[in-house]
Structure 1
């Protein structure tokens, strides 16, 4: 089956050995879709690129680690 033109190109981490992670796709020029890679037909979360970059920066800095 081929993808339709304009269909998001979902990607997972290259570190993923199984499909049990999140998948990301550009939805438009400023929105990124996030979904569960195990449930590709399920719901997705749409965030701005800036919000996703901020989240990644906070994760890398340890701001969201459990105490």
Structure 2
């Protein structure tokens, strides 16, 4: 995990509803950060490009559905 200052351009998904949102930001090094929008100074999950691509691919295909 890393600090908020390392990331810029935080944005929420258009699918997010009020209060249950995650935000995605990008760092200068090319990594992707994910944080809870209700706690912008809390922990950030840090993904490298390959891990982010695999994660979003699994989401789109439903592989992570319960």
What TM-score bracket applies, with the shorter chain setting the length?
0.7 to 0.9
Structure 1 runs of 4+ aligned residues shifted over 4 Å read none
CA RMSD of aligned residues (A): 1.8
Higher helix share: 2
Higher strand share: 2
Structure 2: runs of 5+ lacking an equivalent: 1-5
When normalised by structure 2's length, the TM-score is 0.76
The 2-side partners of 1:34 and 1:43 are apart by 9
> Using CA pairs below 8 Å that are at least 6 residues apart, which structure has the higher relative contact order?
2
When normalised by structure 1's length, the TM-score is 0.75
Larger Rg: 1
| Matched-pair contact (CA < 8 Å) for 2:7–2:25 | no
Tell me the number of residue pairs that the alignment of Structure 1 and Structure 2 aligns.
61
